[in-house]
Amino acid sequence: MSQETEAFINHLIAQMTPEEKIGQLNQYSADPELAPDLLRQGKVGSLFNASGALTGHGFSDSGNAEISNHFQKIALESRLKIPLILGRDVIHGFRTVFPIPLAQAAAFNPELASEAASVTAREATANGIKWTFAPMLDIARDPRWGRVAEGNGEDPFLGAQMAAAVVKGFQGDRFSAPDKLVACAKHYVGYGAAEGGRDYENGEISEPTLRDVYLPPFRAAIQAGAGTVMSAFIDLNGIPATADRRLLTEVLRGEWGFEGFVVSDWESIKELIAHGVAEDEAHAGLLALKAGLDMDMVSGVYHNTLGESLRQGKISPEILDEAVRRILRIKHRAGLFEHPFTDTTRISRDILTPEARALARTAARQSMVLLKNNHNLLPLQGFRRILIAGNFIHARGELFGTWTPDGRSEDVTPLDEALRHTTPKGVELWFADSPDLAQNLTHYVDAVVLLIGEHPARSGENCNVSDLSLPPGQAEFVEAVAGLGKPLTVVIFAGRPLAITRQISQADAVLYGWHPGIEGAAALGELLFGTESPSGRLPITFPRATGQVPIYYNRKNSGRPIRNEGLFRTRYLDLPPVPLFPFGFGLGYTQFEYANLKLSHETLRGTLEVSAEVTNTGARPGVEVPQLYVRDLVGSLTRPVRELKGFQRVLLQPGETQRVRFTLQEADLAFTRSDGTFGVEPGGFHVWIAPDSQRGLQGEFRL
Binding residues for ligand GLC, rule: CB under 6 A, are 89, 133, 186, 265-266, 461
Cβ proximity to ligand GLC, 266 vs 589, nearer residue: 266
What radius of gyration, in Å, describes the C-alpha atoms of the chain?
26
- Min separation Cβ 629 and ligand GLC, Å: 31
Cβ proximity to ligand GLC, 167 vs 395, nearer residue: 167
Q: Is 265 a catalytic residue?
A: yes
- Min separation Cβ 515 and ligand GLC, Å: 17
* Residue among 662, 600, 582 nearest 630 (CA): 662
Helix (H, G, I), strand (E, B) or coil at 619: coil
8-to-15, 325, 398, 614 alpha-carbon distances in Å: 11, 10, 47, 56
What is the rounded CA–CA span in Å between residue 302 and residue 304?
Answer: 5
Cβ proximity to ligand GLC, 230 vs 623, nearer residue: 230
- Min separation Cβ 183 and ligand GLC, Å: 12
Cβ proximity to ligand GLC, 186 vs 253, nearer residue: 186
Cβ proximity to ligand GLC, 293 vs 452, nearer residue: 293
Helix (H, G, I), strand (E, B) or coil at 563: coil
Helices marked H in 338-446: 347-350, 354-367, 415-422, 435-442
- 352 with 41: CB under 8 angstroms? no
Beta pairing partners, 132: 88
What is the rounded CA–CA span in Å between residue 525 and residue 511?
Answer: 12
Cβ proximity to ligand GLC, 133 vs 589, nearer residue: 133
Cβ proximity to ligand GLC, 89 vs 398, nearer residue: 89
Cβ proximity to ligand GLC, 185 vs 438, nearer residue: 185
- Min separation Cβ 136 and ligand GLC, Å: 6
Beta pairing partners, 605: 607
Count CA within 13 A, CB hemisphere, residue 678.
11
Q: What is the 3-state secondary structure (H, E, C) of 265-285?
A: CCCCCCHHHHHCCCCCHHHHH
What is the rounded CA–CA span in Å between residue 556 and residue 641?
Answer: 6
Select the residue whose beta carbon is closest to ligand GLC and give its number.
Answer: 133
- 208 with 637: CB under 8 angstroms? yes
- Min separation Cβ 273 and ligand GLC, Å: 17
Spot the catalytic one: 138, 142, 265, 296.
265
Q: What share of the chain is helix, strand, coil (3-state, %, to 5)?
A: 35, 20, 45
DSSP state, residue 10: H
Q: What are the φ/ψ torsions at residue 271 (nearest 5 degrees)?
A: -70, -10
Non-local (6+) Cβ contacts of 446 within 8 A are 383, 384, 385, 386, 486, 487
Cβ proximity to ligand GLC, 61 vs 436, nearer residue: 61
**In whole angstroms, what separates CA 668 from the centre of its chain?**
23
- 402 with 145: CB under 8 angstroms? no
DSSP state, residue 251: I
- 363 with 104: CB under 8 angstroms? yes
* Residue among 148, 172, 190, 159 nearest 227 (CA): 172
Q: Measured between alpha carbons, how far apart are the two ends of the chain, in Å?
A: 38
- Min separation Cβ 107 and ligand GLC, Å: 23
- Min separation Cβ 271 and ligand GLC, Å: 11
- Min separation Cβ 371 and ligand GLC, Å: 30
- 332 with 175: CB under 8 angstroms? no
What is the rounded CA–CA span in Å between residue 236 and residue 238?
Answer: 5
- Min separation Cβ 268 and ligand GLC, Å: 8
DSSP state, residue 627: E
DSSP state, residue 519: T
Cβ proximity to ligand GLC, 234 vs 427, nearer residue: 234
- Min separation Cβ 195 and ligand GLC, Å: 17
What is the set of active-site residues?
Answer: 265
